[in-house]
Amino acid sequence: MLRRLLSRLRPGGWQDEEPIAAEGPIPRHESPVRRILADAHGGTYVAYPTLEEARADPDAALVMEGDDGGQIYVACPLDVVGASEETLRRLLDDLDALAWSTSDPDAAELRFERLPAGSGVAGGMGGGRVLPEIWVHAEFAELGIDEHIRDVVRGHRDRLPSQRRPAT
| Any domain includes 14 | no
55 φ, ψ to 5°? Answer: -60, -20
Element (DSSP H or E) covering residue 95: helix 85-99
For residue 128, the enclosing domain spans 47-154
State pTM to two decimals.
0.81
Beta pairing class for 135-136 and 60-66: unpaired
Are the CB atoms for 95 and 58 separated by under 8 Å?
Answer: no
| Any domain includes 74 | yes
Q: Domains in the chain: how many in total?
A: 1
| Any domain includes 38 | no
150 φ, ψ to 5°? Answer: -60, -40
Provide the residue-wise pLDDT of the chain in tens; the chain has 168 residues.
334 444 455 444 444 444 334 567 889 999 999 999 999 999 999 999 999 999 999 999 999 999 888 999 999 999 999 999 999 999 999 999 999 876 677 789 999 999 999 999 999 899 999 999 999 999 999 999 999 999 999 999 999 987 555 444
Predicted local distance difference test score (pLDDT) of residue 146: 97
| Any domain includes 25 | no
Indicate the Cα dihedral angle 84, 109, 45, 20, nearest 10°: 100
Predicted local distance difference test score (pLDDT) of residue 3: 40
Q: Of the candidates 128, 19, 123, 115, which has an alpha carbon nearest to the alpha carbon of residue 58?
A: 115
